[in-house]
Amino acid sequence: MDHERSAAEADLMRRREEELYQQLMKEGRLMPHLAINVDHIATLRQARGIDEPDPVLAAGICELAGACGIVAHLREDRRHMQDRDIRLLRQTVKTKLNMEMGAAPEIIAIALDIHPDMVTLVPEKRQELTTEGGLDVAGQHKKISRVIKDMHQENIPVSLFIDPDQNQVQAALEAGADFVEIHTGRYCDAENEDERNREFDLVAEAALFAYNQGLRVNAGHGLNYQTTARIAALDSIEELSIGHAVMARAIITGLTEAVREMAAIIRQAAL
Ligand code: PXP
């Protein structure tokens, strides 16, 4: 059956990726993998106020197509992901569920209850279209380190979404974070090559600084089929969190194809 064949292919692909990952780790290099943010599937559903498309089903398709993780942001305003989604994702995601969240008590309680594989703390503002800047970790040391302690008590690793700024990396380290996710938005939104090169250097320097401090490093926001390869080629980065570009392409080419293409770009860039 087609379904069985594609599941077996995905399994084989994951095994090959794992072998390659182990080989690169032996050589002292990380190979970044692709985590797909499925919020946009929920945004489309909420726009109609009905029950499709389903981000839980989409997450499974992303995994079969080669995604190594699923990211979902349960916002306080519930504009896309709903409680039902995050709970079902917890039960169905076979790779790794990264729950993106603000530090609101209600959302913290849900994370502690459902136990995602990791959480990524982000700043959340009511009026924003998407997460805008990184967290001001230094300015909120007490609050953030408290959340990290609570998560660690449940053995949930914590990533902090920060701008590519060494002061924020240092503050993340002092707050006890396991990971930082370096914000790539300004690099992706650059209006000319000079600006893009400058922003790239900031991302590369912040990522390397974090890695050398012993933090694990992810990156994301705004990455697309043109801008991802350069970031994926950075040795210090473990995971790329990508949503909008993949979902935008999926509308035209289908989700499987869109995820496979992005995973291939990352694989190629990391070699
Ligand atoms: N990382 C974080 C912390 C985000 O908030 C988002 C957007 O939800 C992403 C990555 C993915 O960004 P994009 O949808 O632009 O790929």
CATH number of the domain where residue 91 is located: 3.20.20.70
Q: Which residues pair with 35 in a beta bridge?
A: 69, 241
Q: Which amino acid is at 227?
A: T
Q: Which residues pair with 179 in a beta bridge?
A: 159, 216
- Does a structural domain hold residue 143? yes
Q: Annotated catalytic sites, by residue?
A: 73, 100, 221
- Does a structural domain hold residue 214? yes
Q: Whose CA is nearest to atom 9 of ligand 1?
A: 221
Query: Domain range spanning residue 262?
Result: 31-269
- Does a structural domain hold residue 57? yes
Half-sphere exposure of 49 (CA within 13 A, CB side): 0
Q: Which amino acid is at 67?
A: A
Q: Which residues pair with 261 in a beta bridge?
A: none
Render each residue's pLDDT in the chain as its tens digit; 271 residues.
445 567 677 667 666 766 665 565 556 567 899 999 999 999 999 999 999 999 999 999 999 999 999 999 999 999 999 999 999 999 999 999 999 999 999 999 999 999 999 999 999 876 667 667 899 999 999 999 999 999 999 999 999 999 999 999 999 999 999 999 999 999 999 999 999 999 999 999 999 999 999 999 999 999 999 999 999 999 999 999 999 999 999 999 999 999 999 999 999 998 8
Checking DSSP bridges between strand 97-101 and strand 158-162, what pairing results, if any?
unpaired
Q: Which atom of ligand 1 is nearest to the CA of 37?
A: 11
User: If DSSP codes are grouped into helix, strand and coil, which group holds residue 28?
Assistant: coil
- Does a structural domain hold residue 74? yes
Q: Which residues line ligand 1 (CB under 6 A)?
A: 37, 39, 73, 100, 120, 122, 130-131, 161, 181, 220-223, 241-245
- Does a structural domain hold residue 23? no
- Does a structural domain hold residue 11? no
pLDDT digits (tens, 9 = 90+) for 5-44: 676 776 676 667 666 655 655 565 678 999 999 999 999 9
Q: How many domains does the chain have?
A: 1
Give the single-character DSSP code of 94. Answer: S
Q: Which amino acid is at 200?
A: F
